């Protein structure tokens, strides 16, 4: 959508394109081209109509723009949490054990199929039925409280593979996605006496520490003298 205007001193006049002498140029040069092309051709139009300007209307400057207000436009909208609980990635390792995974798989199968199973049956229960696979994994994620990536959902063809993949997840140390090389330590990593956590001081406190060391060095030289 566009608006063609001519500016004279401080007064703005909106002129109909068909009555302007630039009308022929606009129709033949611009035609039905996209906004980007129209803007690119403004310099050519300026040669014919120096005071003319093409203004591309968008949602910010259009007089017909109506802002979207969620409270009034979607008064009954709400997001319902489909997981029974929420477990953040960094808490997975501390939340679940191997026995917990087996219990949750059994409970999930009971909820979806209304049948009791045990760990020895996992290899016999396949996930070839895609409808069942998606239903099972959705309920499993709800019970676990964290997302299972698409690769595991695709690669797991029976409950034994589901168990193995989940066991790897809960035994894997959490790493920060934005810094994959960051070291993530467990509490037991600090039990040895020769391990300590280095806490680096900021520039201000480094200067204070440096001044203290210089003072001690000077005092030591004075004593020796």
Q: How do residues 7-63 score in pLDDT, each as one tens digit?
A: 443 444 444 444 455 555 555 554 545 556 666 666 676 677 667 666 777 877 888
Higher pLDDT, 91 or 189: 91
Give the pLDDT confidence score for residue 40 in this predicted structure.
67
Is 43 part of a structural domain of the chain? yes
Strand partners, 77: none
209 CA to centre of own chain = 41
Is 66 part of a structural domain of the chain? no
95 and 25 in a common domain: no
95 and 156 in a common domain: yes
Total number of residues shown for the chain: 225
Give the pLDDT confidence score for residue 53 in this predicted structure.
67
Give the pLDDT confidence score for residue 116 in this predicted structure.
96
* Domain end call among 56, 72, 100: 56
95 and 147 in a common domain: yes
CA-angle at 126, arms to 125 and 128, nearest 5°: 150
pTM listed for this prediction? 0.52
Tally of domains in the chain: 2
Residue 3 burial class via C-beta count within 10 angstroms: exposed 0-12, middle 13-18, buried 19 and up: middle
Q: List pLDDT tens digits, range 200-218.
A: 778 888 899 899 999 998 8
Question: Three-state SS string across the chain, please?
Answer: CEEEEEEECCEEEECCHHHCCCHHHHHHHHCCCCHHHHHHCHHHHHHHCCCEEEEECCCCCCCCCCCCCHHHHCCCCCCCCCCCCCCCHHHHHHHCCHHHHHHHHHHHHHHHHCCCCCHHHHHHCECCCHHHHHHHHHHHHHHHCCCCCHHHHHHCCEHHHHHHHHHHHHHCCCCCCCCCCCCCCCHHHHCCCCCCCCCCCCHHHHHHHHHHHHHHHHHHHHHHC
94 and 48 in a common domain: no
Is 203 part of a structural domain of the chain? no
Determine the structural domain holding residue 51 and report its residue range.
2-56
104 and 147 in a common domain: yes
Is 94 part of a structural domain of the chain? yes
Residue 104 burial class via C-beta count within 10 angstroms: exposed 0-12, middle 13-18, buried 19 and up: middle
Is 93 part of a structural domain of the chain? yes
- Plot region of 116 (φ>0 → left; ψ -120 to 50 → alpha; else → beta): beta
163 and 106 in a common domain: yes
Q: Which of 157, 174, 177, 173 is nearest to 165 (CA)?
A: 157
Domain harbouring 94, CATH code: 1.10.1200.10
Q: List pLDDT tens digits, range 131-153.
A: 999 999 999 999 999 999 999 99
100 and 46 in a common domain: no
Is 64 part of a structural domain of the chain? no
* Domain end call among 56, 78, 101: 56
Is 78 part of a structural domain of the chain? no
Give the pLDDT confidence score for residue 162 in this predicted structure.
97
What's the whole-number average pLDDT of the chain? 80
95 and 48 in a common domain: no
Is 76 part of a structural domain of the chain? no
166 and 110 in a common domain: yes
Tokens of 136: 């099972």
* Domain end call among 130, 148, 171: 171
105 and 50 in a common domain: no
């Amino acid at each position: 959508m566009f608006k063609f205007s001519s500016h004279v001193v401080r007064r703005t006049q909106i002129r109909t394109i068909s009555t302007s002498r630039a009308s022929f140029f606009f129709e033949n040069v611009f035609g039905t081209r996209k906004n980007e092309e129209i803007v690119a051709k403004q310099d050519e139009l300026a040669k014919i109509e120096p005071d003319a300007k093409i203004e591309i209307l968008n949602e910010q400057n259009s007089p017909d723009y109506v802002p979207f207000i969620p409270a009034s436009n979607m008064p009954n909208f709400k997001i319902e949490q489909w997981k029974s609980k929420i477990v953040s990635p960094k808490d997975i390792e501390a939340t679940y054990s191997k026995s917990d995974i087996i219990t949750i798989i059994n409970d999930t199968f009971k909820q979806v199929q209304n049948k009791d199973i045990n760990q020895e049956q996992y290899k016999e229960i396949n996930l070839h039925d895609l409808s069942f696979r998606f239903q099972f994994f959705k309920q499993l994620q709800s019970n676990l409280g964290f997302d299972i990536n698409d690769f595991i959902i695709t690669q797991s063809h029976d409950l034994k593979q589901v168990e193995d993949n989940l066991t790897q997840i809960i035994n894997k140390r959490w790493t920060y996605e934005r810094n994959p090389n960051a070291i993530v330590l467990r509490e037991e990593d600090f039990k040895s006496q020769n391990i300590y956590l280095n806490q680096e001081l900021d520039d201000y406190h480094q200067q204070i520490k440096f001044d203290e060391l210089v003072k001690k060095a000077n005092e030591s030289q004075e004593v020796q003298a």
